[in-house]
Amino acid sequence: MATFDVESQLDVQRIRADFPILHQVDEEQHPLVYLDNGASSQRPNSVIQCLSNVYEKHYANVHRGAHRLSGESTDLFEEARRAVQQFIGAAFENEVIFTSGTTMGINLVARSWGDANVTAGDEILLTEMEHHSNLVPWQQLAQRTGAKIRAIPVTADGQLDLDSLSVLLTERTKIVALAAVSNVLGTINPVAEIAKEAHAVGAKVMVDAAQAVPHEAIDVGGWDADFVAFSGHKMLGPSGVGVLYGKHALLEEMPPFLGGGSMIDVVEIDRFTPAMLPAKFEAGTPPIADAIAMKPAIEYLEQVGLARILQHEQSLAAYAHELLADVPGLKILGPDVSKKAGIVSFVIDGLAASDVATFLDGRGIAVREGHHCTLPLHKKLGISASVRASFYLYNTREEVEKLADAVRTTVEFFG
Ligand code: PMP
C-alpha cells in the first residue's frame, strides 16, 4: 500500500504499523478500512502496552493505601493528569478532572454549576448542531430550574449563524454550550470568538471538545473556555476515561457532583466537607489504568504533531469530497471542505443510510450510519439519517478511493 501521504507529509505506513487492529481482513479477505473514528478511534501499541503494564506491574487503587503499589499507581495517575494539563494548556493541574467521558463531563457541569447558578427565567444557549450529550443535560437543567433553552441556528451551508448572537445573547444568558467541531457536519466552530461575545454578557462557556481535542492543538486559555469536556477513546486512549477542564475559580466554588469515597475531607454521620480539587469531583474509584494510558496516547499525538494530523485529515476529507462529488444523488452535509475537520457525512437520494453502511461493511469499510446522536440537526436538515466517514491519522488516500468506489457500486447495485 502506498501510504506516504505527499499532501500532508505524514508517514502513514509507519503510523499504521503501530496499530495492530488495522491489519485484519474480513471473511472475504477485504482489509479493514476503518472510517468510524468520530465514534471511537483505535489505539497504538504504546497505549495497549501501557494498559497491560499497569495491570501486570503497578496496579492498585489510587490515593488510598500506604503500600508501594498504591504509591506507584497514584504517581502514574497524577503524571497522566499533568500530561493532560500541558496538552490542553490548562494553567493548573487541578483544573483537570478525570471523568468517564465527554457525556459525564457535561453532566457534571450541568448538575453542579448549573443547579447552583441557573434559575427560572435564565437562558441556556446551545446550538442546533449539538450532540445529544450537549443537549439533554441542559434540557434536564432547564426542567429542574425553569430556565429556557435557546439555540444558535445552523445556516444552509452548515455553519453557526453568528449574526444571531446579537439577539440570542442577553443578560439572561447564563451559559453557552457548543461543540468545537460538529460530529456530523465537521464544521470547525469559532469557539474563541463566541466565548468572547458570551463573556461580554456575563455568560459562561462550555465547550464540547469531543471531536476537537483528538484532531487539533487545543489551548483552553486561547479559547478562554470556562469548561471543556472530551473523551479518551476518540484520541487513541482507552474507553471509559475522559476529561473535564474547568477554570480553577469556578471549580473551587462549585459543589461536588457525585458523592462517595475520595471526594471528601471529613465525614460525620449527617454531614461532610468536600475534598480539595480535583478529588472533590472524582468520587469513587476512578478509571485508574485508563487514565494512566492517556499519557502514551497524548505522547503519540504530540510526536506525530496535531497540526500535521489535522492537515492530513483535512486533505483526506477534501479528497473524499472530490471523489464523491459526481456520485449520482449523493449530497455531502456541512460546509465547504476548507471549513471542516476530517468528517464527511452524506445522504444518497432514495437510499437508506443503513443499506449504504451495510453494503460498505460487506467490503470491509467501517462507517457510521444513523442520526449520530444529533436528532435536532437531522430534523433541521430534513433527513432522518446519514452515512458518516470520519478520518484519522492512520487513514490513507487509498482508503478514501475504496470508500468512493464502494459508494458508487452501492448506488449502481440499488439502481
Ligand atoms: N459530543 C460529541 C460532539 C461527540 O461526537 C460525542 C461522541 N460521539 C460525544 C459528545 C459523547 O462522547 P462520549 O460518548 O465519549 O461521552
Please report the atom of ligand 1 found closest to the CA of residue 234. Answer: 15
CA trace torsion 357, 322, 325, 30 (10° rounding): -30
Please report the atom of ligand 1 found closest to the CA of residue 233. Answer: 15
Ligand 1 shell residues, CB under 6 Å:
39, 101-103, 131, 133-134, 179, 183, 208, 210-211, 231, 373
Q: Would you state the pLDDT for residue 231?
A: 98
CATH number 3.90.1150.10 is the correct assignment for the domain at 12-31+306-414: yes
The cell 449563524 sits on which residue? 161
The cell 471538545 sits on which residue? 209
Question: What is the band of 3 on the pLDDT scale with cuts at 50, 70, 90?
Answer: low
Tell me the pLDDT tens digit for each residue of 223-262.
999 999 999 999 999 999 999 999 999 999 999 999 999 9
Q: Which residue has the higher pLDDT, 64 or 26?
A: 26
To test ligand 1's pocket by mutation, which of 126, 183, 206 has the most ligand atoms within 8 angstroms of CB?
A: 183
Report the alpha-carbon distance of residue 22 to residue 38 in Å, rounded.
16
Domain boundaries, the chain: 12-31+306-414, 49-302
Tell me the pLDDT tens digit for each residue of 151-203.
999 999 999 999 999 999 999 999 999 999 999 999 999 999 999 999 999 99
Other Cβ atoms within 10 Å of 347 Cβ, number:
22
Instruction: Judge contact between 225 and 195, C-beta under 8 A.
Output: yes
Tell me the pLDDT tens digit for each residue of 307-351.
999 999 999 999 999 999 999 999 999 999 999 999 999 999 999
Please report the atom of ligand 1 found closest to the CA of residue 103. Answer: 16
To test ligand 1's pocket by mutation, which of 215, 373, 377, 390 has the most ligand atoms within 8 angstroms of CB?
A: 373
Contacts of 358 (CB under 8 A, 6+ apart): none
- Per-residue pLDDT for 7 more than 80? no
Tell me the pLDDT tens digit for each residue of 276-310.
999 999 999 999 999 999 999 999 999 999 999 99
Crossing angle (nearest 10°) for helices 68-88 and 294-304: 30
The rounded Å distance from CA 133 to ligand 1 centre is: 6
Question: What is the band of 5 on the pLDDT scale with cuts at 50, 70, 90?
Answer: confident
The rounded Å distance from CA 383 to ligand 1 centre is: 21
List, edge to edge, every strand of the sheet that includes 330-332: 330-332, 343-348, 386-390, 368-370
The rounded Å distance from CA 326 to ligand 1 centre is: 31
- Per-residue pLDDT for 1 more than 60? no
SS (H, E, C) 217-267: CCCHHHHCCCEEEEEHHHCCCCCCCEEEEECHHHHHHCCCCCCCCCCEEEE
Tell me the pLDDT tens digit for each residue of 344-395.
999 999 999 999 999 999 999 999 999 999 999 999 999 999 999 999 999 9
The rounded Å distance from CA 57 to ligand 1 centre is: 32
Please report the atom of ligand 1 found closest to the CA of residue 102. Answer: 16
Question: What is the band of 137 on the pLDDT scale with cuts at 50, 70, 90?
Answer: very high
To test ligand 1's pocket by mutation, which of 211, 239, 244, 369 has the most ligand atoms within 8 angstroms of CB?
A: 211
Instruction: Judge contact between 333 and 156, C-beta under 8 A.
Output: no
Given this chain, do its domains 12-31+306-414 and 49-302 carry the same CATH topology?
no
To test ligand 1's pocket by mutation, which of 37, 99, 102 has the most ligand atoms within 8 angstroms of CB?
A: 102
Instruction: Judge contact between 113 and 254, C-beta under 8 A.
Output: yes
Omega before 256 within 30 of 0, i.e. cis: no
The rounded Å distance from CA 102 to ligand 1 centre is: 6
Report the alpha-carbon distance of residue 170 to residue 198 in Å, rounded.
9
3-state class (DSSP) for residue 130? coil
Please report the atom of ligand 1 found closest to the CA of residue 242. Answer: 15
- Per-residue pLDDT for 15 more than 90? yes
Q: Would you state the pLDDT for residue 112?
A: 98
The β-bridge partners of 386 are: 370
Among protein residues, the one with the nearest Cα to ligand 1's atom 6 is: 210
The rounded Å distance from CA 239 to ligand 1 centre is: 12
Tell me the pLDDT tens digit for each residue of 33-92.
999 999 999 999 999 999 999 999 999 999 877 899 999 999 999 999 999 999 999 999
- Per-residue pLDDT for 2 more than 70? no
The rounded Å distance from CA 37 to ligand 1 centre is: 11
Query: CATH for 49-302, among 3.40.640.10, 2.60.120.620, 3.40.50.2300, 3.90.1300.10?
Result: 3.40.640.10
Span 255-271, mean pLDDT? 97
Among protein residues, the one with the nearest Cα to ligand 1's atom 8 is: 39
| Residues annotated as part of the active site | 373
Tell me the pLDDT tens digit for each residue of 92-119.
999 999 999 999 999 999 999 999 999 9
Q: Would you state the pLDDT for residue 415?
A: 78
The rounded Å distance from CA 334 to ligand 1 centre is: 18
Among protein residues, the one with the nearest Cα to ligand 1's atom 5 is: 183
Please report the atom of ligand 1 found closest to the CA of residue 373. Answer: 8
Q: What does pTM read for this prediction?
A: 0.98
Closest CA to 165 of 208, 197, 207: 197
